[in-house]
């Protein structure tokens, strides 16, 4: 039987990105000790944000699931959730 880890909802956020075709797409971003990870319905793998191939446009702000923050022009190796 697989072990299911508890994930705090404050460590998850929805992000709006531009995909490789320049279309809007939404992904789930998970704050992890190794860096922010992208969980994406268009991919079977979980990847670091910096290796997602996406341009991040906006993200729900950390624990505040009502307010959106702009994340454009963030360095690719940054932890975008850590800044929220």
Question: What's the pLDDT tens digit per position in 57-83?
Answer: 888 865 555 666 666 655 455 555 555
pTM, full prediction: 0.70
Question: What is the band of 39 on the pLDDT scale with cuts at 50, 70, 90?
Answer: very high
Residue 11 has a pLDDT of 86
Q: Is residue 28 included in any domain, yes or no?
A: yes
Task: Indicate whether 27 belongs to any domain.
Answer: yes
Do 49 and 38 touch, CB atoms closer than 8 A?
yes
User: 73: alpha, beta or left, given left = phi > 0 and alpha = psi -120 to 50?
Assistant: left
Q: Does 84 reside within a domain?
A: no
Q: b vs e for 54-80, b when ≥16 Cβ sit within 10 Å of the residue's Cβ?
A: bbbeebbbbeeeeebeebeebeeeebb
Q: Does the residue 77 lie in any domain?
A: no
Total tally of structural domains belonging to the chain: 1
Per-residue pLDDT, 84: 46
Question: Does 21 score more than 60 pLDDT?
Answer: yes
Domain membership flag for residue 79 = no
pLDDT at 2: 60
* Residue 76 is assigned to a structural domain of this protein: no
Note the pLDDT of residue 63.
Answer: 58
Which residue range is the domain that position 27 belongs to? Answer: 9-70
Q: Is residue 82 part of a domain?
A: no
Within a domain: 14: yes
Average pLDDT value for residue range 17-40: 90
């Amino acid at each position: 039987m697989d072990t299911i880890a508890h994930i705090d909802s404050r460590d998850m956020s929805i992000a709006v990105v531009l995909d490789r075709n320049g279309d809007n797409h939404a992904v789930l971003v998970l704050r992890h000790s190794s860096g922010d990870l992208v969980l994406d319905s268009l991919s079977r793998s979980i990847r670091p944000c910096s290796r997602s191939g996406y341009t991040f446009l906006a993200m729900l702000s950390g624990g505040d699931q009502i307010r959106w923050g702009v994340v454009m022009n963030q360095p690719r190796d940054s932890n975008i959730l850590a800044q929220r």
